Amino acid sequence: MIGIIGGSGVYEIANRAEIIETKEIKTPFGYSSEITILSIGNKNVVFLPRHTGSHSIPPHKINYAANIWALKELSVNQIIATNAVGSLDLNIPPGSFVAVDDFIDFTTNRKKTFYDDKVVHVDVSEPYCNRLREALVSNGNVIDGGVYLCVDGPRFETPAEIKMFKDIGGDLVGMTGLPEVVLARELEMCYSSICTVSNFGASISPNKITMDEVFEIMEVKNNELVDLIFKTISKLPENFDCSCLHSLDGSGN
């Protein structure tokens, strides 16, 4: 099964496919966001809106563990996640799509692992699935690679923070990418993020940063993003092997 995790402004995916079933999943970590099982082409796809369909859950309150666990329970083994981000680089302007290949984690009070009761050290030398990233890049106008820096939010960043994030190697800043990617790795799932740049970061942007700006860009780019995801899904093989599916090998598990 293929999973799509929809971020800010990416909720009408379900309107462009045949809906098979909608439900919430009870997990050891609480209930997931409402999940919709869709038929896209000849494939069943699980769609999970990260903030819920009404965009009512702020980034620091999302139950990432329940969401990833629920996808695993539904036999999802590859995830395409969408993230709205701010750019730290003038060469990555608003409207760009970026398939990131690394991250820096500045989040604090989030459940970051499924392994609280045993010693497991999962490798994140290549934190995002290279196979899925290459599939996304090959099917659209997508920048290949970038460093996603994740903060708690819900406020936007200060100019000093943006300068620091840029100085330490960040290309994009967002609030929802972590710990999602790590939790997927811990459950041996392929995970790739397609980031939509909605604005420049504070001090890089000449204007005040608002959520209106984020939703305006997402509205403009949404059809192109959904087309990219659907095209990528149509070309993903049903039978495959990937190092992501063996990520606990050598972890101490």
pLDDT for 8 = 65
Quick one: pLDDT band at residue 55, thresholds 50, 70, 90? low
User: In the predicted model, what is the mean pLDDT of residues 194-210?
Assistant: 84
56 falls within a domain? yes
Domain that holds residue 30: 2-238
Chain segment 144-179, per-residue pLDDT in tens: 999 999 999 999 999 999 999 999 999 999 999 999
> What would the 3-class secondary structure string for the chain be?
CEEEEECCCCCHHHHHCEEEEEECCEEECEECCCEEEEEECCEEEEEEECCCCCCCCCHHHCCHHHHHHHHHHCCCCEEEEEEEEEECCCCCCCCCEEECCEEEECCCCCCCCCCCCCCCCCCCCCCCCHHHHHHHHHCCCCEECCEEEECCCCCCCCHHHHHHHHHCCCCEEECCCCCHHHHHHHCCCEEEEEEEEEEECECCECCCCCHHHHHHHHHHHHHHHHHHHHHHHHHCCCCCCCHHHHCCCCCCC
As a whole-number percent, the residues of the chain with pLDDT over 90 amount to 79
Per-residue pLDDT for 14 more than 90? no
70 falls within a domain? yes
32 falls within a domain? yes
User: In the predicted model, what is the mean pLDDT of residues 212-228?
Assistant: 87
232 falls within a domain? yes
CATH number of the domain within which 187 lies: 3.40.50.1580
Q: How many structural domains is the chain composed of? A: 1
213 falls within a domain? yes
125 falls within a domain? yes
157 falls within a domain? yes
Mean pLDDT of the chain: 93
186 falls within a domain? yes
Global pTM reads 0.94
pLDDT for 173 = 97
